[in-house]
Amino acid sequence: MGIRIAFQNMNHQPVEMVSGFDQSKLHELIEAATAGSLLDGIQRQSDTMYNSYQLEFLLAELSAIRAEGTGGQEVVSVLRRAAETAIRRHGYLWFSAD
């Protein structure tokens, strides 16, 4: 079961898919997230969408993470870049689980 990540513009039109990360490491990151955090809020079996305001908090969460191993750091980096891009474009980051 995977989670696709995409940017949407301010009109909720898909702009770009995010790639280049290990799905298993993303799931591990979500599972290890603090209860009530935005990472913990990413649904494993449905859609989750964060706006630019919420993504500022997600960036703070990502800064506090000390991901183990290369794959974990890679996922944190991909999520950070994705969140920064969505904020810059005044859009959304959409997580879509299979």
Domain count, the chain: 1
Q: Assign residue 8 the CATH number of its domain.
A: 3.40.1760
pTM for this prediction = 0.89
Q: What is the pLDDT along the chain (98 residues), one digit of tens a residue?
A: 589 999 999 999 988 999 888 889 999 999 999 999 999 999 989 999 999 999 999 999 999 987 666 678 899 999 999 999 999 999 999 999 97
In terms of residue numbers, what domain contains 40? 3-97
Give the Cα separation of 21 and 71 in Å (integer).
8
Contacts of residue 38, Cβ cutoff 8 Å, sequence gap at least 6: 50, 54, 57, 58, 61
